[in-house]
Amino acid sequence: MSSNPAACWEFSPAFHDCDPMNVVWHGNYFRYLENARCHLLRQHDYDYPQMLEGGHLWPVVDARIKYIRPLRYGQSLQVDAEVVEWENRLKINYRISDRDSGELLTRAHTIQVAVDVASGEMLYVCPSILWQRLGVQRQ
């Protein structure tokens, strides 16, 4: 694969996602990242059901967000999600942008680690099924 696995998820914030100032409440951003992450992983047939079926859990162990500009009710938005690390952990970078202007509104990343379902032990190298599904070469 010549580039990192990536996907774009489009949405508009719902009224119930906003605070009284008509701005998306900061905690809802994590839901948007999760939706984009699932969209990306589904494209590679490695969403959470397939992870579990393969004997692995993938808990998020780190999540960071840089709020640049507020997201607002009804705004046309897109989340670009890109896998940037997959050898020892799964790191995904996100960019939330206004769909009409292209203005960058938020930057974020999440880090997940593989955990063996049977033993509950964290794996220090990602299972090869992740690399196969993402179509990346082993490092």
116: β partners: 56
Residues 52-83: pLDDT tens digits?
999 999 999 999 999 999 999 999 999 999 99
Query: If you average pLDDT over every residue of the chain, what do you get?
Result: 94
Residues 28-38: pLDDT tens digits?
999 999 999 99
Which pLDDT score, from 0 to 100, does residue 3 have? 76
Q: How far apart are CA 86 and CA 100, in angstroms?
A: 32
Which pLDDT score, from 0 to 100, does residue 138 have? 63
Contact call for residues 136 and 1 (beta carbons, < 8 A): yes
Domain with residue 21: its CATH number is: 3.10.129.10
The range of the structural domain enclosing residue 46 comes to: 6-134
Query: How many domains are contained in the chain?
Result: 1
Which pLDDT score, from 0 to 100, does residue 136 have? 80
What pairing do the DSSP bridges indicate for beta strands 104-112 and 90-98? Answer: antiparallel
86 in helix, strand or coil? coil
Domain membership flag for residue 1: no
Residues 110-124: pLDDT tens digits?
999 999 999 999 999
Mean pLDDT for the stretch of residues 33-52:
95
Domain membership flag for residue 139: no
